[in-house]
Amino acid sequence: MVAAVARTDVLGALEVSWRAAWLCAVGVVLVMGGCPPRSSKERTLPAVTSDDPAAEASLRQAQEAADAGDLDAAEDRYRAFLRDFPDDPLVALAHLGLGRVLLAKGAIAQARAEFAPLGEHPDPALAERARLYEAVAMHLGGESAQAIERLRPLAGRTADPDDTALLYQTLGAAAERLGQRAEAVAAYDALVRSEAPAEAKTEARTRLDELVRALDADELDGLFDRLPRDGHAWPEVGRRALREAFARGDLARVRSVAAALEAQDVPLDRDLQSIALRAERTGRTDLGAIGAILPLTGRGQEVGRLALQGLMLAAGLPPEAPPGPGTPRIFFRDSRGEAARAARAVDDLVTLHQVVAIVGPVDARAARAAAHRAQELGVPILTLSPERSVVDEGELVFRLFPSPQDEAEALVAYALARGAHRFAAFRPDHGYGATMTGAVQQAVQRRGGEWVGEVRYSPEATSFGEPLQALAGLRFDALLIPDHARRVALIAPALAAAGYWSGAPGAQAPAGARPVQLLVPSVGLDEALLRTTSRYLQGAAFAHAFPPGSVEGLRREFADAFAERFRRSPDAYAASAFDAFHLVRAAVAAGARSREEVAQRLASGLEVDTVGPSRGFDAHRQPLHGTRVWVLEASGLRPPPP
């Protein structure tokens, strides 16, 4: 039985499955089951003959024992022949037969000793067969790389179908053992195209299908260009290469693979047909089409809808009359705040609508996923996320919305310019409070100010007695309050009662109080705060891209038009989306005729009058102006004096 003679520790699972076929190839019939029918082309034997009938009879007996599956008897008879007829011309065939029997019994080293001298035999057919079997023994003995080197020159030279099958089976198995999956595919594919027996071809097809499913993108691309197109593997390699190229955003490769498959009449399923069609369409860019990915349902939907309305206002949607030729259009996708949906939305916008650029998303994770995919597909994306590092995804990725670092830099610069030097923070004990405080501390130290410390309070606090006592131990003239507006509305009067009066250093303050420059990031400002607590915040500095109650110039025009159209006030997201649309249109108007040129224009200092603070992007694809500082006065928020 095979199990009695196989060395499965050496062969491995694949080799065990093919061992029966190999034994048949070397002329050994298994005790149980036997061999499949021979191919119509009988095995070609070396042209070595003898004039001694006794020698011929002795060799025939050894071969018959091997054919009967009696490996021990076959070994004994081959050795008897070599003892009795040491000078007969058939000695070479006896060594070859003995080597095959030893190999079948797992005696690999002994088998190699029989094959090795025959590799230089004057009969070329016998020499090549000996080299073939020695290479098989090398592989089974763990020398797979050496076996491959020995077998490669024999590829395409074997005349016997079983030897052909054995050669390619061994090449494939050796390549797999070495982790060379592409080489294994090439070997098994050659087997299928050869004159090997049908059963060996069937087994090779099965293994090919398994291997092709496991190949990575680089292996697929290499094999697609290398394999014969009339083989078994090439069509499936092409299908997988098509899908992988689309996944990594290499649409030029998708188009070339799809064209090659079409030329060979390779059928594609509906999904692959869609991929090929999308890639073909993606090669074109509609300079008037802008995409948008926003959270219109689910988490963050209110922010998403305000951004959507900002885009609609920018594009004049819905139009009051039928749009004329060249009218810009916007195509929307709902991200639901989910990274995977945002990435898929990029695919849709680029491949179905050929957009020239994309605006959004808002959420940091969704923005990063969409930015990664946009970079792969070669489309500029103007994210509305405050995460500065989103631009690290590539040169086509821009950030328009202010970051905590932008706000920190602006607030610290303002306070230092007004005479403040010593900074502290009165902050909630949560993530945003820590992030904003850290950004301000870094900005203070970078600009030469002095950071004196921070005092924390519970995020659920409604009174601040103990934290204010701790604050009294710090000497500061500028105080950061990184909290939501509803909490700032409670903190401002509590600070005033504790003797901290809002105002720049040196400003007038009630008796017994000292002026402190209050610094408040954008989350700390809303319309309700301005209505209820402004008396305690006079002189406070707010960092905000588009604060409520903006009253000047282009911002006022935008706010009025937005309120008239949508019956509510715009926010910073609406303003940023509005600006993003006009920045893309300005790049096109400046002569950009491709997605790449739009990105180049945006990153080259193209300045546009924007309702938000940005006015465009710098060379690092960050906003030219991250945010603005606004000072609260009796008449409302005003930009600081020069």
Contacts 24+ apart (CB under 8 A), 270-279: 272/239, 272/242, 272/243, 275/242, 275/243, 275/246, 276/242, 278/246, 278/347, 278/351, 278/352, 279/246, 279/251, 279/254, 279/255, 279/351
For position 24, what pLDDT does the model report? 44
Query: Contact 126/114 with Cβ under 8 angstroms?
Result: no
Q: What is the pLDDT of residues 190-205, one digit of tens each?
A: 999 999 999 999 999 9
For position 505, what pLDDT does the model report? 63
Largest CA distance in the chain: 132
What average pLDDT does this structure show over 26-38?
32
- pLDDT beyond 50 at 26: no
Residue among 397, 378, 381, 379 at smallest CA distance from 389: 397
For position 64, what pLDDT does the model report? 94
Q: What angle do CA 363, 364, 370 make, to 5 degrees?
A: 85
DSSP 249: T
* Residue 428 backbone zone (phi > 0: left; psi -120 to 50: alpha; other: beta): beta
Q: Please report, for the chain, the start and end positions of each structural domain, with discontinuous segments joined by +.
A: 2-214, 247-282, 286-399, 404-544
Q: What is the pLDDT of residues 254-301, one digit of tens each?
A: 889 999 999 999 999 988 988 888 777 766 889 999 999 999 999 889
Q: pLDDT band at residue 322, thresholds of 50, 70 and 90?
A: low
Provide the H-helix boundaries in 356-484: 364-377, 404-417, 431-446, 465-471
What average pLDDT does this structure show over 4-16?
32
For position 47, what pLDDT does the model report? 62
Which one-letter amino acid corresponds to residue 91?
V
Q: Do domains 286-399 and 404-544 have the same CATH topology?
A: yes
The C-alpha atoms of residue 426 and residue 516 are separated, in whole angstroms, by 12
For position 29, what pLDDT does the model report? 26
Instruction: Please tell me whether the overall predicted TM-score, pTM, comes out greater than 0.75 for this model.
Output: no
Distance spanning both ends of the chain, measured CA to CA: 96
- pLDDT beyond 80 at 609: yes
What average pLDDT does this structure show over 479-484?
97
CATH number belonging to domain 2-214: 1.25.40.10
CATH number belonging to domain 404-544: 3.40.50.2300
Token code pair at residue 455:
């005092």
Q: What is the pLDDT of residues 573-607, one digit of tens each?
A: 999 999 999 999 999 999 999 999 999 999 998 99
Q: What is the pLDDT of residues 531-572, one digit of tens each?
A: 888 889 999 999 999 998 766 788 899 999 999 999 999 999
Q: Which CATH superfamily is domain 286-399 in?
A: Response regulator (3.40.50.2300)
What average pLDDT does this structure show over 290-313?
95
- pLDDT beyond 60 at 44: no
Q: With pLDDT > 90 as the criterion, what percentage of the chain qualifies?
A: 75
Going by their DSSP bridges, the two strands 422-428 and 541-544 should be labelled as unpaired
Distance (Å) of CA 547 to CA 327, 411, 583, 614:
31, 15, 21, 14
Distance (Å) of CA 55 to CA 67, 95, 311, 438:
18, 14, 96, 95
What average pLDDT does this structure show over 36-54?
59
For position 553, what pLDDT does the model report? 82
The C-alpha atoms of residue 99 and residue 105 are separated, in whole angstroms, by 10
- pLDDT beyond 60 at 18: no
Q: What is the pLDDT of residues 445-455, one digit of tens each?
A: 999 999 999 99
Residue among 401, 343, 348, 351 at smallest CA distance from 368: 343
For position 220, what pLDDT does the model report? 95
For position 613, what pLDDT does the model report? 94
For position 251, what pLDDT does the model report? 81
Q: Please provide the average confidence, as pLDDT, over all residues in the chain.
A: 88
- pLDDT beyond 70 at 7: no
The C-alpha atoms of residue 411 and residue 405 are separated, in whole angstroms, by 10
The C-alpha atoms of residue 565 and residue 21 are separated, in whole angstroms, by 79
- Give the DSSP H or E segment for 221: helix 217-226
Residue among 255, 328, 244, 42 at smallest CA distance from 159: 42
The C-alpha atoms of residue 423 and residue 445 are separated, in whole angstroms, by 10
For position 325, what pLDDT does the model report? 66
Query: How many angstroms from the chain centroid is the CA of residue 619?
Result: 25
Phi, psi angles (nearest 5°) of residue 393: -70, -20
What average pLDDT does this structure show over 115-141?
93
